[in-house]
Structure formats: C-alpha cells, structure tokens
Amino acid sequence: MDLNMTLYHGTSWQNAQGIQRNGFKPSSCGCLGAGVYFANRDKAVRYAKYRGEPTLVTADVTARVMKRVCGNDYSWQRDGYDACHTTRTSASCEPEWCVKNASQIVVRSVQRL
C-alpha cells in the first residue's frame, strides 16, 4: 500500500520557479544519498532562510516502500526502497525524508517567506 505524505522543501525563489517549471531535480548526494530531500514545515522554513529569497515548497509525496532509519543511510535505494525517513542525520538532529524519483512528487504550493 502506498504511503502518501505532505512534506516541505525549503529553497530560494529562483529554484522554486525551476521546480514549478521542470519538477524536482534529485541531488547527487546528502546524508541519505542521492534523491529529493524533504522535511517538516519548521525545518524547511529554517533551511530556506539561508537561501536567496527564501521560499517554501509544499508537496504531496508518495512512497511505495519506505525505509526508516536513525542516522545517515546510503543503502536504501540499493536495497529496493523508493524513499527513506530518518529521525536525524550527522548534519541535523531533526527528521528528514529523501525520495528516489521526482515522479513521486506533486507540487501543491510555492510560498515566498
């Protein structure tokens, strides 16, 4: 059964416009490896504050098989998962999510902060 979540992505206004036009571009690295990163609203807002023209992207994310971990994890995609949730990483003591493919994401709103 699919897991549907509303999650948040903090970025700049310029990047948010690109996301609206072309969809998310997965990063090549991070504490959960390659993918598109999301957080809860508060963390995403704080992250956006360090970007030019802080912007919050709200998205509906679908995961078929999600791995749940505590800490960094680079094996979830190799192990057959299409998303990973961690309670914290070496870079942050707060939860975050990483999804494998941009096709799992539907942008719901873009809000300048």
CATH number of the domain at 3-112, out of 3.90.228.10, 3.90.320.10, 3.40.50.2300, 3.40.630.30? Answer: 3.90.228.10
Q: Where are the domains of the chain?
A: 3-112
Entry pTM: 0.94
Mean pLDDT in order along the chain per 10 residues (113 residues): 94 97 95 98 95 95 98 98 98 97 98 97
CA distances from 12 to 53, 80, 102 (A): 5, 32, 18
Q: What is the DSSP string of 57-107?
A: EEEEEEESSEEEESS--S-TTTTT-SEEEES--SS-SS-EEEES-GGGEEE
